[in-house]
């Protein structure tokens, strides 16, 4: 299998449009991790992503009749731009199906490349089904984003380049994983020529379809409600059939990372290369750092910086979470006496640590709850801080990993429901498109009184929303049926300690 793919990679037609991207040293990260870290700069491609390679290689192999009919695909991101640019270069008509909640910046980018855009459904699955219908109805060629030998070979040219560029000893290559096209292509080439080099995949925790497949010994479909939407470029429910055949035999390991670790990696890349990677593009660096944290050492490692198509609006959210991902900040909910001098005494208990955030509102009770961010030097320092405060008599709730606290509560401290009003609290992800709120309210049919509503835009296809409903536990089943019918992803947060300390 590998020999066949190596031949396809060596003959791949990608350089009509793609560039040979450089390997860049990340000096600060290298010094911190105790090994040489190089980034393969696929963010420097014409569409700011590696996806152009596979798309062009697939389409360049079409015969004249297929080119005349045109191509179709489903994508809201980098693959769409790759297909659009390849189609323009080859003189082929491209139809791109995108979800209705696709951010306008991505729609504009694809339209500017000359593709015909079709907005359909709210999810990738909706768009993909419609694209397949168009393929059959109009005899178009479907350009798969990852599960196609020619696409895999196109992506594999990255492996060919990096081995040509780095002829010295190399310990590992870290590769972002969505559907598996990139890691399959790189593994095929690298393992054939340099079997001693480890190929390590990196996935977002909420969309780790390759890790799940390797654990199960077969491809599995992740439930839609669990899919990660932050690293949208790798938000795939099932690894490809062809890509899994290669990965299960030639990928050495797969590491999963969370949102905060991805944000910290974006900051690391910016500090060293002055490049703002997209979340999926920074996965490899996040995985490389975690690999080192797990006690693994390396002399030289290469991280595939796969893309930089990030909405500017998302940078605020990324910046907020980067310190948490590096474990340089601890978010705590602390109970202190509500009396003069308590805040001063609490600051004394913190010692010389820097307070990064402090939220509090007078509640008129015996005790006060404060939402506080504290700068720490490492994970162990944060744990020592919590233990120190507890030993001094403070009730401490560590909220560093509490999504509701970090996304919503920190912006709402001080607002409280009336004691006589029973409340159920839910966290939602709304599609970012006109009519989303109306659909939500209409789905409730006027049955529920909304007691709290907080929305934050993160420049992504989905908005994060916190909603309170007047109701008691007995109302939960009926409300759950209404919410399920609306179809937005949600999590109940009624028992969340951040809610009880600051909002209830």
- The C-alpha atoms of residue 60 and residue 316 are separated, in whole angstroms, by 40
Looking at mean pLDDT, say which of 2-11, 354-363, 442-451 comes out highest: 2-11
Instruction: Identify the band that residue 97 occupies on the pLDDT scale cut at 50, 70 and 90.
Output: very high
- The C-alpha atoms of residue 160 and residue 53 are separated, in whole angstroms, by 13
- The C-alpha atoms of residue 264 and residue 247 are separated, in whole angstroms, by 27
Q: Is there a common fold for 2-46+149-323 and 410-502?
A: no
Of 216, 83, 62, 217, the closest CA to residue 146 belongs to 83
Q: Terminal CA-to-CA distance of the chain, rounded, Å? A: 60
Bridge pairing between strands 141-142 and 71-74: parallel
- The C-alpha atoms of residue 413 and residue 292 are separated, in whole angstroms, by 37
pLDDT of the residue at 419: 63
Do 213 and 201 contact (CB within 8 A), yes or no? no
Where does residue 48 fall: left (phi above 0), alpha (psi -120 to 50 degrees), or beta otherwise? left
Q: For 52-76, give the DSSP string.
A: HHHHHHHHHT--HHHHHH-EEEE-S
- Catalytic residue at 306? yes
Of 428, 432, 404, the closest CA to residue 499 belongs to 404
pTM beyond cutoff 0.85: no
Record the tokens describing residue 202, joined without a space.
């990196």
Record the tokens describing residue 237, joined without a space.
């429910």
**What CATH code is assigned to 410-502?**
3.40.1020.10
Question: What is the CATH architecture assignment of 51-142?
Answer: 3-Layer(aba) Sandwich (3.40)
Radius of gyration of the chain (CA): 25
- The C-alpha atoms of residue 66 and residue 223 are separated, in whole angstroms, by 35
pLDDT of the residue at 460: 62
Active-site annotation holder among 55, 191, 306, 406: 306
Q: What is the pLDDT of residues 11-62, one digit of tens each?
A: 999 999 999 999 999 999 999 999 999 999 999 999 999 999 999 999 999 9
**Torsion sign over Cα 273, 278, 283, 284:** negative
- The C-alpha atoms of residue 451 and residue 468 are separated, in whole angstroms, by 5
- Catalytic residue at 7? no
Q: What is the pLDDT of residues 163-175, one digit of tens each?
A: 999 999 999 999 9
Instruction: Identify the band that residue 158 occupies on the pLDDT scale cut at 50, 70 and 90.
Output: very high
pLDDT of the residue at 231: 87
- State the alpha helices, DSSP H only, in 326-435: 342-350, 379-391, 403-407
- The C-alpha atoms of residue 241 and residue 487 are separated, in whole angstroms, by 29
May I ask the CATH class of domain 2-46+149-323? alpha beta
More confident residue, 122 or 17: 17
May I ask the CATH class of domain 327-401? alpha beta
- The C-alpha atoms of residue 482 and residue 486 are separated, in whole angstroms, by 6
- The C-alpha atoms of residue 230 and residue 240 are separated, in whole angstroms, by 21
Q: What is the pLDDT of residues 231-253, one digit of tens each?
A: 888 989 999 999 999 999 999 99
Q: For 171-220, give the DSSP string.
A: -EEEEE-SSSHHHHHHHHHHHHH-TTSEEEEEEEGGG-HHHHHHHHTS--
Q: Which DSSP helix (H) or strand (E) runs through 427? A: strand 423-431
> Quick count: other Cβ atoms within 10 Å of Cβ 407?
19
- The C-alpha atoms of residue 466 and residue 32 are separated, in whole angstroms, by 38
Answer yes or no: is pLDDT of 497 > 80: yes
Active-site annotation holder among 8, 51, 198, 289: 51
Q: Could you state, in order of their start, the residue ranges of all structural domains in the chain? A: 2-46+149-323, 51-142, 327-401, 410-502
Of 303, 333, 437, 329, the closest CA to residue 382 belongs to 329
More confident residue, 323 or 428: 428
Helices and strands per DSSP (H, E), number in the chain? 20, 18
Bridge pairing between strands 116-119 and 462-470: unpaired
- The C-alpha atoms of residue 493 and residue 495 are separated, in whole angstroms, by 5
Of 298, 284, 6, the closest CA to residue 163 belongs to 6
- The C-alpha atoms of residue 322 and residue 407 are separated, in whole angstroms, by 14
- The C-alpha atoms of residue 331 and residue 351 are separated, in whole angstroms, by 16
């Amino acid at each position: 299998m590998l020999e066949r793919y190596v031949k396809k990679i060596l003959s791949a037609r990608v350089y009509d449009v793609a560039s040979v991207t450089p390997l860049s040293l990340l000096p600060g990260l290298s010094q911190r991790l105790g090994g040489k870290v190089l980034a393969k700069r696929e963010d420097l491609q014409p569409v700011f992503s590696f996806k152009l390679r596979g798309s062009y290689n697939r389409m360049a192999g079409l015969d004249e009749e297929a080119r005349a009919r045109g191509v179709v695909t489903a994508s809201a991101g980098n693959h769409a731009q790759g297909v659009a640019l390849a189609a323009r270069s080859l003189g082929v008509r491209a139809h791109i199906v995108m979800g209705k909640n696709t951010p306008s910046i991505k729609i504009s980018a694809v339209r500017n490349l000359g593709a015909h855009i079709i907005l359909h459904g709210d999810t990738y699955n909706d768009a993909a089904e419609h694209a397949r219908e168009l393929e059959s109805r109009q005899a178009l060629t479907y350009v798969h984003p990852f599960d196609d030998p020619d696409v895999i070979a196109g992506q594999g040219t990255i492996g060919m380049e990096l081995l040509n560029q780095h002829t010295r000893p190399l310990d590992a290559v870290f590769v972002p994983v969505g559907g598996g096209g990139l890691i399959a292509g790189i593994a095929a080439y690298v393992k054939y020529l340099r079997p001693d080099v480890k190929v390590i995949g990196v996935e977002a925790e909420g969309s780790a379809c390759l890790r799940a497949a390797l654990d199960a010994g077969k491809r599995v479909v992740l439930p839609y409600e669990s899919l990660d939407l932050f690293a949208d470029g790798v938000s795939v429910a099932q690894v490809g059939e062809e890509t899994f055949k290669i990965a299960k035999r030639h990928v050495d390991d797969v590491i999963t990372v969370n949102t905060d670790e991805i944000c910290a990696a974006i900051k690391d890349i910016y500090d060293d290369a002055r490049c703002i990677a997209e979340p999926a593009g920074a996965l490899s660096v996040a995985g490389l750092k975690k690999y080192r944290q797990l006690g693994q050492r390396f002399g030289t490692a290469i991280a595939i910086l796969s893309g930089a198509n990030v909405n500017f609006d998302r940078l605020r959210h990324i910046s907020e979470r980067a310190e948490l991902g590096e474990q340089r900040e601890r978010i705590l909910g602390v109970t202190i006496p509500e009396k003069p001098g308590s805040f001063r005494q609490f600051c004394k208990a913190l010692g010389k640590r820097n307070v990064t955030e402090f939220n509090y509102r007078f509640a008129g009770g015996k005790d006060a709850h404060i939402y506080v961010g504290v700068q720490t030097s490492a994970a162990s320092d944060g744990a020592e801080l919590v233990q120190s405060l507890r030993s001094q008599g403070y009730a401490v709730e560590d909220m560093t990993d509490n999504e509701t606290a970090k996304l919503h509560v920190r912006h709402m401290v001080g607002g409280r429901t009336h004691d006589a009003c029973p409340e159920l609290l839910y966290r939602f992800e709304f599609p970012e498109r006109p009519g989303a709120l109306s659909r939500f309210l209409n789905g409730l049919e006027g049955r529920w009184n909304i007691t709290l509503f907080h929305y934050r835009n993160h420049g992504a296809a989905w908005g994060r929303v916190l909603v309170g409903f007047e109701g008691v536990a007995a109302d939960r089943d009926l409300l759950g049926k209404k919410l399920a019918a609306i179809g937005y992803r949600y999590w109940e947060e009624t028992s969340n300690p951040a809610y009880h300390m600051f909002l209830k």
